[in-house]
Amino acid sequence: MTEKSGYQEEPGQVILAAIEGLIVDFAQRIRLLPRSYKRDLLFLRTRYELEGLGFLTNCLPHLDKVLLQSLESGTWTGTHFHFGFKVEKGRKTPRFLSCFFRLVFQACGCVTEDASLEAIRAIRQITAFASKLERPVGPWCKPFIDGFTSRVQSDAPVRCWDGRLKIARSFIDLVFKDFNPLDIVGKHGPGAVAEGLNQDQKLDHSSFSPEAAYWWDRNEFYTHPTLFKHPSLGPGHLASYPSRVVLVPKSSSSPRLIAAEMSGHAFLQGGLNEKLVKHIEKHWLTSGHVNFTDQSVNQQLAQRASQDLSYVTIDLSDASDLLRSSLVQELFRGELGVALSILRTKEVIVNGTIYRTSTFSTMGNGLTFPVMSIVLCSILVGAVLWKLGTGYAFSDSEFESDDALRPQYGALKEAMQGVYVYGDDLIVPTEHASCVLEALIDFGFKPNQKKCFATGFFRESCGADYYKGTNVRPVYIRKYPQRSLKRDAGRLSSTVACGNLLQNSGLIQASTVLLGSLKRVLPLGYSTSPYLCVHTDKDLMHILLDADQKKINVRWNRGLQRFEIRASRVKTRKRVRESSEAGRYFAALTRRLVDQTPFFDDGTRPSIKTGWMAVY
């Protein structure tokens, strides 16, 4: 049993009612009799009254995890699964939601050959609905902070110095043979920086370490009076700051830890990130296999693999924290290796304490995603070629010539055919699964065994879940339901979006509960409508008649020749621009478009505005 949480009771009641609506929606869809799920509704409300919202966000999602593991193994793996769920008499599955479990598992616990896809979707949607509910950061995050500092300081050696490392290094050499890390245009991203500057202040007050100033000042681009010759920059801007660890809400079970980098390094990381991404996505060896913006490649492969079992999907735990600096130094040579060494996360400050890191970088560093992706890809290729016995053909000279690398082109290209990488979401052919998992462990990574799928008909990659080719991913509620239109714009828009997703999935009762919890009645509209609305596919006249019935103001705009509805929308607040003219001149010289108005959007402070808006 879990302890009662300190969450607000009102949002908890709304989420409970929505889950009850989900049970009724799926039961009606599968055409079950009311008596078959009436006991489930009583059990759900009883447990909620005893344990609070923690039951919906922590206990209930464990059923979803056991279900996925059972689909992977082919038999129910929750024999010793407790959390207060009793086992149905004569069967191995829980008595809770037994009307759905019976359509998926036999009495002996084995998955039936014709398992109901609708029942699988029902169990997942009901149990995982509140699993990603964002929990405010607080004292409960301390164990996660301790785990983070332990991981980034860990000097655990990489246990793989055999031919697999040699192949991975040759792969990296080939991909970045003509890459120049000095020829970049810096870029400030939307994230926080160690100095606590906002988006506008970064243009005037960026700080650089001495080694970064020396290394990138040699680039011809900086002969312009910009970066280190910026009129407003003095000698005091050459300094080093540790990366500041920031906690942001992620889910009810764990926060997200991000290291805010020093502003100058973040500027250079953004520029190098942009060049790395373009280079990797266009290179003949990695194009279409290592992706940064298109998740559909991995999603389509996951759907295909859930039918023919041709691929396995692999997910890693804390991949960015386990990417060792020593491994990056071994794989990247030449100027790119030096650039990565300068811009890596060397120190982090947590609660006033500075920790030296042995990891390459953390979430928040602009280089984490591309470097981690290409390193993981090189490890997969090395593992596959080493297994096939062609690794002996790779030499290990310091700087390989084009002629020396040419015999390796065919082998590397062949090994890449079945390898697909998107961050830490990996896809490899089924026959290479064991050697790839072994290599990842030897290189210091930790495969998440609960999210690696190889033998069953379930596959998960890049936010897409498939069972036998059918999408069984649930809709998640991510923020507390918001009733008022004036208190929290983020929560309100999240509530409306979740309600519309449920409605689009045919889960009408659950959608009605969420959207009905709002104090104000929402008008109908389309997914492209600029205002908060309930989505519909009906024509314009139906929307206008519905608005009239709900006593929502409608008008004909003679000037624009269109119908308009008076409704609410989410709008980012305007803040007074604080950068100097020199700062904006600096941004213009770095070829970044700069808004010349005296205000700029602050995306972190959305608000609700009401006015006349077109339906489309």
Q: Please tell me whether residues 110 and 165 are part of one structural domain.
A: no
Q: If 0-12 CB within 10 Å is exposed, 13-18 middle and 19+ buried, where does residue 304 land?
A: middle
Mean pLDDT of 221-228: 40
Amino acid at 439: A
- Give the Cα separation of 328 and 383 in Å (integer): 17
- The pLDDT assigned to 340 comes to 95
- The pLDDT assigned to 132 comes to 92
| Residue 567 domain-assigned (yes or no) | yes
Q: What is the DSSP letter of 169?
A: H
| Residue 488 domain-assigned (yes or no) | no
Mean pLDDT of 311-319: 93
| Residue 157 binned pLDDT confidence (cut-offs 50, 70, 90) | low
Given a cut of 50, whether residue 235 has pLDDT beyond it is no
Given a cut of 70, whether residue 61 has pLDDT beyond it is yes
Q: In this predicted model, what pLDDT tens digit does every residue of 168-195 receive, in sequence order?
A: 988 998 899 889 998 888 888 778 888 8
Mean pLDDT of 504-518: 91
Q: Please tell me whether residues 314 and 392 are part of one structural domain.
A: yes
Q: Please tell me whether residues 183 and 279 are part of one structural domain.
A: yes
Q: Please tell me whether residues 258 and 312 are part of one structural domain.
A: yes
| Residue 497 domain-assigned (yes or no) | no
Given a cut of 90, whether residue 475 has pLDDT beyond it is yes
- Comparison of pLDDT for 88 and 485, the residue scoring more: 88
Q: What is the DSSP letter of 455?
A: S
- The pLDDT assigned to 402 comes to 46
In the chain, what is the straight-line distance between the N-terminal and C-terminal CA atoms, in Å?
Answer: 49
Q: Flag the least confident range among 196-205, 290-299, 387-396, 453-462.
A: 387-396
- Comparison of pLDDT for 198 and 531, the residue scoring more: 531
Q: Flag the least confident range among 127-141, 290-304, 485-499.
A: 485-499
- DSSP-H helix ranges across 179-285: 202-205, 210-216, 263-282
Q: What is the DSSP letter of 4?
A: P
Residue 113, token pair as written in the block: 């050959």
pTM for the full model? 0.88
Q: Which of 197, 346, 203, 344 is nearest to 267 (CA)?
A: 203
| Residue 454 domain-assigned (yes or no) | yes
Q: Point out the domain boundary residue: 101, 133, 165.
A: 133
Q: Please tell me whether residues 564 and 452 are part of one structural domain.
A: no
Q: Please tell me whether residues 59 and 28 are part of one structural domain.
A: yes
- Comparison of pLDDT for 282 and 204, the residue scoring more: 282
Angle between helices 34-51 and 9-30 (to 10 degrees): 160
Given a cut of 50, whether residue 218 has pLDDT beyond it is no
**Nearby residues of 198 by Cβ (< 8 Å), 6 or more positions away:** 575, 578, 602
Q: Please tell me whether residues 70 and 158 are part of one structural domain.
A: no
- The pLDDT assigned to 3 comes to 38
- Give the Cα separation of 583 and 484 in Å (integer): 40
Task: Give the alpha-carbon dihedral of 74, 317, 377, 296, to 10 degrees.
Answer: 70
- Give the Cα separation of 103 and 93 in Å (integer): 11
Q: Please tell me whether residues 233 and 352 are part of one structural domain.
A: yes
- The pLDDT assigned to 223 comes to 35
Q: Please tell me whether residues 266 and 311 are part of one structural domain.
A: yes
- The pLDDT assigned to 584 comes to 65
- The pLDDT assigned to 142 comes to 87
Mean pLDDT of 235-249: 74
Q: In this predicted model, what pLDDT tens digit does every residue of 70-86 receive, in sequence order?
A: 999 999 987 656 677 88
Given a cut of 80, whether residue 574 has pLDDT beyond it is no
Q: Point out the domain boundary residue: 133, 149, 180.
A: 133
Mean pLDDT of 30-56: 90
| Residue 588 binned pLDDT confidence (cut-offs 50, 70, 90) | low
| Residue 253 domain-assigned (yes or no) | yes
Amino acid at 50: L
3-state secondary structure of 319: coil
Residue 138, token pair as written in the block: 């607080």
Given a cut of 70, whether residue 404 has pLDDT beyond it is no
- The pLDDT assigned to 487 comes to 65
3-state secondary structure of 88: coil
Number of domains into which the chain is organized: 3
Mean pLDDT of 578-598: 57
Given a cut of 70, whether residue 288 has pLDDT beyond it is yes
Q: Domain of residue 367: give its range.
A: 139-470
HEC string of 341-356?
HHHCCCEEEECCEEEE
| Residue 50 domain-assigned (yes or no) | yes
**Nearby residues of 555 by Cβ (< 8 Å), 6 or more positions away:** 563, 564, 566, 612
Given a cut of 80, whether residue 102 has pLDDT beyond it is yes
Mean pLDDT of 201-223: 66
Cα angle at 449 between 445 and 453, to 5 degrees? 115
Which strands form 256-260's sheet, in the order they lie side by side?
256-260, 243-248, 347-350, 353-356
User: Could you tell me what percent of the chain has a pLDDT over 90?
Assistant: 43
**Nearby residues of 549 by Cβ (< 8 Å), 6 or more positions away:** none
| Residue 482 binned pLDDT confidence (cut-offs 50, 70, 90) | confident
Given a cut of 80, whether residue 413 has pLDDT beyond it is yes
Q: Point out the domain boundary residue: 67, 101, 133.
A: 133
- The pLDDT assigned to 249 comes to 86
3-state secondary structure of 608: strand
Mean per-residue pLDDT of the chain: 84
- The pLDDT assigned to 272 comes to 93
Q: Residue 244: which H helix or E strand, with range?
A: strand 243-248
Q: Are 128 and 61 in contact (CB under 8 A)?
A: yes
